[in-house]
Amino acid sequence: MNDTEIVELVSDVFCKIIGDLNDGLYKDLEGDISFRWHDNKRYFYADAATASGIDEPPKHYIGLSYDAAILLYRDIEHYYQYIEYGADNEKFDIIFKDFEYPKSLSVGSSKEHSCKNMFTSGITWILYHELGHLIQEHLYIRNLYISSNNAEIIDCAANDSGNNETLSGKASAVYHVTEMAADFYATTSCLSALLRHFEGNELEVEIRNFTSVLALLIYRFHGINSYVPTELPEGSHPKPLIRLEQTMPLVFEIYSKYDLLNEKKTSLNRLDLIRITSWSSFTVGLFWLRKNNLSGIPEDYFLSGSRQRPGMTEYHRVMLDTWDEVKPIIDRVKRIDDPFQELKFSDAYRKILQRA
């Protein structure tokens, strides 16, 4: 697709989802939500904004730059070509020796059809991430901690010029944990949507497409550098690999915990889903290095267990404590009550953090 066709596809997808939201959720709330392009942002940019108070019917906006759409689609095209070419299949043969990993992203369809499907998953995740901020009134929560009247949340982790927040301490922790909450909302929304629209082998393909494009989105933010250890949150967003390590396991945790695949004519089990998500994140990481012409592999570049890195136990304790602090406020002001889509820390995880 050319650039114009990419932009038109985004408009079609977003208008359909936002139209459904206005006919359903926002109608019930006596408010509205709309989408707008940002033609003055020449980089990967997305935001959520509000023109209403928490006691008023919501008037919400979700925005995206043209470059965000075009860059994501081109990344998907190049990733498709990388998988087709098989440049790193010898590595994959060793790493995924117990898993019949895909040699192509096309399964009975054309390259363009496969790329469009991946792209649709990616931009849908972006939209739901911004919606999560709005539905849970994260802007209101953040303003409580920085004494501000900001009317928008900027989600441009790929370009610092789009987000000038230099935060530390409690304010940074609140920003980080509400980003995690928006990621959780987006991921669970997309996983639910996949179950509504697909089944059988097609569902397996779309789960792989979704996990690959999620990794593509976040590795674009991560770049080609090693992970930098952190104990305390800084800035407005968690480090990209932390975000990916928090979101990717939701695929197998949610689908297996609630046995959601049982009636979808698929034999996928928890182990299959772990292998799919591992393949997606690892292949995207290697692809990103090749795309940026880096021959070596930076230290601590790929995903690992969420608490395996130095400082991560302390970081997660801060996130847990901060979420416990802001969640009662969110519960008072959020627009809908849907526990399935709200960030949660299990009792077992809380005990692990207490013992560590």
Task: Give domain limits for the chain.
Answer: 74-355
Secondary structure letter of residue 161 according to DSSP = G
Q: Within 13 A of 14's CA, how many CA atoms are on the CB side?
A: 26
Sheet containing strand 59-65, edge to edge, reads: 32-38, 59-65, 46-50, 152-154
Q: What is the pLDDT of residues 195-239, one digit of tens each?
A: 999 999 899 999 999 999 999 999 988 888 888 888 899 988 998
Mean pLDDT across the stretch 10-18? 97
Looking at residue 155, its pLDDT comes to 66
Residue, of 295 and 101, whose pLDDT is higher = 101
Query: Angle at Cα 207 formed by Cα 204 and Cα 213, nearest 5°?
Result: 140
pTM: 0.94
Amino acid (1-letter code) at residue 169? G
d(CA 336, CA 320): 22
Going by C-beta distance under 8 Å and a sequence separation of 6 or more, which residues neighbour residue 285? 215, 219, 301, 302, 303
Residue (of 274, 276, 296) closest to 286 by Cα position? 296
